[in-house]
Amino acid sequence: MAILERVAEDVRTVFRKDPAARSVLEVLCCYPGLHAIWLHRVAHWLWIKRFHLLARLASHLNRWLTGIEIHPGATIGRRFFVDHGMGVVIGETAEVGDDVLLYQGVVLGGTSLEKEKRHPTLGNGVVVGTGAVVLGPITVGDGARIGAGSVVVRPVQADTTVVGVPARPVGKPQPERAAVDLQHGDLPDPVVRAISESLERSSRLEARLRELEATVALLATTRPEAEPEPQLAGEELEARINKALDEVIDPGIGMSLVECGFVHHVFVDHGRVEVQLRLDDPECAFKEYFAREVRRRVLNLVGIKRVDVRFLAQDVPVLGMAEVEGSAT
């Protein structure tokens, strides 16, 4: 009876974790993740009874039938489910808690050749996204989420989401979030976020520096006024503007806007400058940063009173003020 209850529990787990499941018969016949855990239980029983060769043969049969390789020595909890499990590998000393969900291509691998604990331990309710790799005798806390394609080499706190190579935590732990709600295509990039925050802080510091410079200039008004700087000629002013634009770096690739070919055209009309940019990615995360840096650097030039930054659509064939994707003024 206990075996039938466990089988029924496994079937209910499939319905709870895979919306594609339609009928009990379909689940019983067409879900390799379900077959894999059943065959593993047989292999694991043989392993703990010291029938090691038979256990490995059962594991090998499991791999051949399902495409999922689980070492018979691995310990796996209840309500475990592998969705689209082809290519999943679980090592000998791995320990997997209850209610764990793995997707295609997940690897729970080892990092040592010693006969010791060398594979990860996954807590209860952990979700591991497609193609993720968890290496070494580390612990992934209860309710943690590992984003698709991540490589985890350090312990993960409970209820924390990690992404990237190597995986880094995203935000603070969220124990109230449902662990199975893993949005593979909507996971933030902690590296880009860190760069954006650093750039934002740098811009604030530069703004503060300009305020201090203005204050110093105000305090120095008692000194004889210096002769006004001569206005630059058109060609010389454009050259200086281009030089200023060459100092604006794209954080994503480490090259300037000019080197990347993002500067489409620069219009100069007395004290007003319009800089037209055409980016490779219309949804670029650094648009605001580009606009802010272009305005800041060009406004520092003599005789410039206003700077407009416009982002052109990819297929804009002409110069001018029209047919723009958006603008920052």
Mean pLDDT of 17-41: 89
The alpha carbon dihedral of 266, 268, 269, 274 has a sign of: positive
DSSP β-bridge partners for residue 109: 135
| Residue listed under structure tokens 């700077």 | 307
> Checking phi first, is residue 99 left (phi over 0); if not, alpha (psi -120 to 50) or beta?
left
Mean pLDDT of 250-272: 80
Question: Residues 265-309: pLDDT tens digits?
Answer: 888 887 788 888 887 777 777 888 888 888 888 888 777 888 898
Residue 83: closest CA among 66, 70, 62: 66
Q: What's the whole-model pTM score? A: 0.58
Distances in Å between the alpha carbon of 323 and those of 36, 199, 288, 318? 57, 30, 20, 9
pLDDT of residue 292: 87
Mean pLDDT of 223-241: 64
Taken as a whole, the chain contains a residue count of 329
103's enclosing H/E stretch is: none
What's the token pair of residue 154? 């350090």
Question: Residues 89-116: pLDDT tens digits?
Answer: 999 999 999 999 999 999 999 988 888 8
Q: Sort strands 255-256 and 249-250 into parallel, antiparallel or unpaired.
A: antiparallel
Work out the percent of the chain whose per-residue pLDDT is above 90.
Answer: 30
pLDDT of residue 181: 52
3-state secondary structure of 126: coil
Question: Residues 68-92: pLDDT tens digits?
Answer: 999 999 999 999 999 888 899 999 9
3-state secondary structure of 173: coil
* pLDDT exceeds cutoff 60 at 133: yes
pLDDT of residue 59: 93
Question: Residues 174-216: pLDDT tens digits?
Answer: 666 554 455 555 566 666 667 777 888 888 888 888 888 878 8
Mean pLDDT of 47-63: 94
